[in-house]
Amino acid sequence: MATVPEFFGSLVFNDVTMRTKLPKDTYKKLKKTIEEGKHLDLSIANEVAHAMKEWAIENGATHFTHWFQPLTGITAEKHDSFITPRDDGTVIMSFSGKELVQGEPDASSFPSGGLRATFEARGYTAWDPSSYAFIKDGTLCIPTAFCSYGGEALDKKTPLLRSMEAINRQAKRILKLFGNDSIKTVKTTVGPEQEYFLVDRELYNKRRDLIFTGRTLFGAKPPKGQELEDHYFGSIKPRVAAYMADLDNELWKLGVLSKTKHNEVAPAQHELAPIFTTTNIAVDHNQLTMEIMKKVAARHGLVCLLHEKPFAGVNGSGKHNNWSLSTDEGVNLLEPGETPHENAQFLLFLTAVIKAVHEHQDLMRISVASAGNDHRLGANEAPPAVVSMFLGDELTGIIDSIMHDTAYDQAERVPMKIGVHILPRFPKDNTDRNRTSPFAFTGNKFEFRMLGSSASVASPNIILNTIVAETLEQFADTLEQVPAEEFNTALHDLIKENLIAHQNIIFNGNGYDDEWIKEATEKRGLLNLVSTPDCLPYFVSEENIKLFTAQKVLTKPEILSRYDIMLDNYCKVINIEALTMIDMTKKDILPALTAYSKTLADTIAEKKAVLPDLACGYEEKTLRKLSCLAAEIFEKTEALERSLITVKDCGDLQAQAFFCKDTIFSCMQELRAVVDEAETVTAKAYWPFPNYAELLFSV
C-alpha cells in the first residue's frame, strides 16, 4: 500500500510532474509565468498541452474540461474527449495548445447581472497557469478564468487574480522603502477552515426541506442538543472516522493540504482545516474540497450539509479565512518577531490592515453576505454582524504606546500555570484567539471568522486584498515623497496618525455582549448590518466603485452586475424556502395532523361506546389542541402564499429583497413556530419527517 508522500498530488499536474514531462526550456518559461505572474508565452502552449494530455491519459483520463467558478458560488465544467477522428474510421487522442489556453462554454444561463444580452450566449474560459491542472472522475480539469463576449469578468477567479496583482504592486512599493529591493512578488496566503454536518442519507431523503434548501425549515428541539458540550473535540465515531479517512485520501491525491479534522460543537458537526497556501490555489482547493466532501459522503451512506444553519437551536457552520502576506523569499509580513514594537515594517503593514478594515467595514460585511449566513451571524456560535478587530494584549499595548508617545514596557511574557507539575510551563499567547471577534490577529495572520460554510472564499479575499492594497498605496504615496533623512520620523507619524484615527475598530472584549453592540454603533460609529438586504446597497456606493476601479479589480459594470446577482440570489433563496414550506405543510403536515386527529376521535368514540362516562382527558385535550394548531397552520400557510404573490409588486430587486426579509421571512418564522409546536404533540408514528433527534444523533 502506497504511503501518503508517495500518492500525495498523484492526480495533479504539479511542479514535479511538469519538471518530468516538459522539455527543460518549456518548463523554465512556464515556471517563470507561474512565479512572477508574467504573460504566458503562447509558443509553449502546444508542448504543455501535449505533455498534460499524455500524463492525463496515463492516469486514466479520457476527457478534459475548463474548470471555472461562475457567479453561482459553485464550480462549472463542460467535458470534451481527447478523441480526434482519422480517415480510416479510427481515432487518435489529441489536445492542442489552443484547447488548453482558451475554451468557449455557453454562458447564456449563468448569472451575469446584465453584463451581456441573453442572445450573446458565448463566454470564454482562459487557462490560469498559477493553479495546477488535476484529474477528477476521469477528466483532466484545467482551472480557468471566465469572461463574457465583451471581456467582462463573469466569475470569481478573475477579480481575485486582479486583487492579488493589486496588493502585490503596492506591497512591493512599501518593501522597497525599507530597502527590500530583491523582492519579486508578494502574495496573500489563505488557510480556510471548513465546518460541515453529516447526516444519514436515508433520513435526508425523507426531508424535502434539506433536499431543496440545504436546511431544515421545520423541526422541534430534541431533548438533548449541544448543552453538555460533549461532542466538541470528542472521540470520532467509527462511521464518521471512516468518512474522514476516505476524504483525506481523496483530497491528498488532488494535492489539497488537508491537515486537521475534529468534531465541532453541535451534534453531527465536524471541521476540516488545511495548511496555508497561495490565495488563488486556496480558493480553488476549497471549492474542490466542498465538492469532494459531498461525493465521499455519498459513498458512506451519508450526506454532507454545508448550509450555514441546517438546524435551528444548535451551532451553525462557518468557514474561518486565515489570511496573511508573504514574499517570494518566504518572509511573512504579518510576523511580529520577537520585538514587534521595534519592527517598523510589521507595524506599518498592521496599521494598513487596521485602517483598511475600519474604512471598509461595509465591504467586509458584504463579502460574507448571503441568506444562509444571515441565520448564523450574531448567534452564539458566530461573530456578530458588527465588524471589529481583535489584536490581543501585547499588540494593543504597543499601539497604545505609539498613540501616546510613551515607552513600551516589554515585560516578560507571563508563564501559563496549569497546575500539574509534570507538564511544561509555557508562556501565555498574547494573541490568543477571541472566538467572538469577526477579524482576529492570531500570531502571524488575521482570521476572518464571518464567512459562511457554503460560500466561496474568493469574495472575502478579493475584498481583503483590494482594501489593503488601497491603504498600502496611500502609505507609499506619502512615504515616497519624504527625504531619506526624515523617513523614520515620517514613518512614526504616519503610523501614529492612522492608529489614532482608526482605533475604534479594535475591540478585544466579548462580541456577544449586548452592551458591545450598543457601544459599537452609538459610540464608535461602527455599522451593524444585520442582513444581506441591509448591507448590499453599500456595494454600489460611489466610494466603493472608485475603490475597485482605481485598484483595477472590478469595473463599474462588473460591480453593478454583482450587486444585482446577489440581490436576485437572496430573493430566490427565500422564495424557494417559502415554496418548500408551503409544499410540506399542505402535502404532509396538515394531512398528518388530520390522520392523528381522526385516530384520537375514533379512540374517544370507541371508549365512550363501551363506557359512556369514561374520562378521555388525554385524547380530548390533544385532539382539541391539534385542531386549533391545524387551523392556525392553515391560516399561516395562506398568509405565506399571499406574501409570495405580493412580492412581485414591490418594484426593483432591492425593494423585493427587503420585502423578502421583512415580510416573507417573518411569515415563514410564524408558520414554523406553529408547526414545531404541533410536532411536539403529534405521535411519532404520524409525523411525516425524521425529527431532529434522529437527524443529529443517528450517525
Helix 617-646 crosses helix 556-584 at what angle (to 10 degrees)? Answer: 150
Beta bridge partners of 84: 92
Identity of the amino acid at 551: Q
113: left (phi over 0), alpha (psi -120 to 50) or beta: left
Q: Within this chain, do residues 8 and 68 fall inside the same structural domain, yes or no?
A: yes
Range of weakest confidence among 32-36, 74-78, 449-453, 573-577: 32-36
Q: Give the pLDDT confidence of 83-136 residue by residue, as tens digits.
A: 888 888 888 888 888 889 888 776 566 766 566 555 556 678 899 999 999 999
Is there a single domain that holds both residue 42 and residue 29? yes
* Co-location of 168 and 143 in the same domain: no
Instruction: State which of 145-159, 366-380, 551-565, 646-660 shows the largest mean pLDDT.
Output: 551-565
pLDDT digits (tens, 9 = 90+) for 543-584: 999 999 999 999 999 999 999 999 999 999 999 999 999 999
What pLDDT, in 10s, does the model give residues 22-42?
999 999 888 888 877 677 777
- Residue 36: predicted pLDDT: 72
Which of 318, 350, 385 lies at the terminal end of a domain, its last residue?
318
- For residue 423, being part of any structural domain is answered with yes
DSSP for residue 685:
T
Q: Range with the lowest mean pLDDT among 205-214, 510-519, 564-573?
A: 510-519
CA-to-CA separations, 163 to 33, 187, 555, in angstroms, rounded: 18, 10, 12
What's the rounded mean pLDDT across residues 430-452?
A: 82
**Domain C-terminal end among 100, 130, 155:** 155
- Examine the pLDDT at 393 and tell me if it is beyond 90: no
- Whether residues 105 and 186 share a domain: the answer is no
User: Are residues 26 and 93 part of one domain?
Assistant: yes
Considering the domain architecture, whether residues 325 and 282 belong to the same structural domain is answered as: no
Check which CATH number belongs to the domain holding 634 and give it. 1.20.120.1560
Spatial strand order of the sheet with 194-200 comes to: 258-263, 269-274, 194-200, 302-305
Give the total number of structural domains in the chain.
Answer: 4
**CATH code for the domain of 279:** 3.30.590.10
What confidence category does residue 424 fall into, taking pLDDT thresholds of 50, 70 and 90? very low
Q: What pLDDT is recorded for position 519?
A: 94
Residue 426: is its pLDDT beyond 70? Answer: no
Q: At what angle do helices 556-584 and 665-681 cross, to 10 degrees?
A: 30
C-alpha cell at 343: 519592527
List, in order, residues 6 or more apart from 642 with CB less than 8 Å away.
none
Are 540 and 681 in a shared domain?
no
Q: Is the pLDDT of residue 413 over 50?
A: no
pLDDT in tens, 669-688: 999 999 999 999 999 999 99
Q: What is the pLDDT of residues 618-667, one digit of tens each?
A: 888 999 999 999 999 999 999 999 999 998 888 899 999 999 999 999 99
- Residue with the bigger pLDDT between 532 and 111: it is 532
CB distance 30 to 43 below 8 Å: no
Choosing from 94, 129, 155, the residue where a domain stops is 155
Residues 22, 122 share a domain: yes
Domain extent, residue 303, equals: 194-318
Helix (H, G, I), strand (E, B) or coil at 225: coil
CA distances to 60, 180, 205, 242 from 299, rounded to whole Å, are 21, 52, 15, 11
User: In which band, very low, low, confident or very high, does the pLDDT at 236 lie, cut at 50, 70 and 90?
Assistant: very high
CB-CB contact of 32 with 89 (8 Å) = no
Domain presence at residue 563: no
pLDDT at 43: 79
- More confident call, 238 vs 402: 238
Q: How far apart are the first and last CA of the chain?
A: 29
Percent of the chain with pLDDT over 90: 69
Per-residue pLDDT, 116: 58
Mean pLDDT of 446-475: 97
What pLDDT shows up at residue 203?
Answer: 98
Q: Is the pLDDT of residue 412 over 50?
A: no
**Residue 608 pLDDT:** 75
CATH number where 14 lies? 3.10.20.70
Q: Are residues 535 and 580 in the same domain?
A: no
Same domain, 378 and 505: yes
- Does residue 430 have a pLDDT over 70? no
CA distances from 254 to 27, 359, 659 (A): 21, 39, 44
Q: Residue 696 to residues 202, 238, 574, 593: CA-CA distances in angstroms?
A: 13, 16, 24, 24
427: in domain: yes
Decide if 564 is inside a domain: no
289 and 333 both lie in a single domain? no
Average pLDDT, the chain: 90
How far, CA to CA in Å, does 63 sit from each of 1, 22, 60, 495? 28, 21, 9, 55
CB atoms within 10 A of CB 246: 16
Mean pLDDT, to the nearest integer, of 515-538?
A: 94
In this predicted structure, what is the pLDDT of residue 699?
92
Segment 223-251 mean pLDDT: 89
Q: Mark whether 535 and 639 lie in a shared domain.
A: no
Give me the pLDDT at residue 336, please: 86
Residue 449 CB partners (closer than 8 Å, separation 6+)? 318, 320, 321, 382, 383, 435, 437, 438, 439, 440
Q: Percent of the chain scored above 70 by pLDDT? A: 92
Question: Average of pLDDT values for 278-305?
Answer: 97
